[in-house]
Structure 1
Amino acid sequence: MVDKPKKSQLARLNRIEGQVRGIARMVDEDRYCIDILTQIRAVRAALEKVEQELLGNHLRHCVAQAFDGGSQRERQSKIDELVKVLDRSR
């Protein structure tokens, strides 16, 4: 992984971690359900952003490399793993 996206993703994940701890405090403090749900949706959106960045990075680097110089078997393997991981998200 390239350093700049890696640093950005780690920073985003650290913020998400803090948000999740905040949600746990909200639950512990019996905060209003809608406020908790709003924060959960924010965390999910942030995780989706990290997922999109990672997927784009994977396509631009790992998959592109397999298609540029890899064998037919390597190309098919990259396609299969992407289909598998994307299918799990349904």
Structure 2
Amino acid sequence: MNTLSGARKSAADIHRSISKVVRKVLEREDIDPAVDLFDQGATSMAFIRIVAQANEMYDITIDAAALEEASIDSLAKQVRAQTNGGLLKGKDER
């Protein structure tokens, strides 16, 4: 598993890592982080893969349906909220 447990990540680090995942899954570099990913060509399956990778990377459980919108900004905000503001805990610390 490729988790980042036990580390502290800044908001910028989280945003950067989510952006990287999105660019890789969508195979595009020109993604606007504030715009809904579906408006930028993402499919439902691609978005599910993005959320699954974020969940695995940060050892969290984001429900894709619960997000305000399907944007990088919204996803990064949710990651930050679920990691206690960037403080990442290992599974045994939860």
TM range (shorter): 0.3 to 0.5
Greater RCO structure (CA 8 Å; 6+ sep): 2
Instruction: Name the structure with the higher helix share.
Output: 1
TM-score, normalised via structure 1 length: 0.33
TM-score, normalised via structure 2 length: 0.32
Please say which structure displays the higher CA radius of gyration: 1
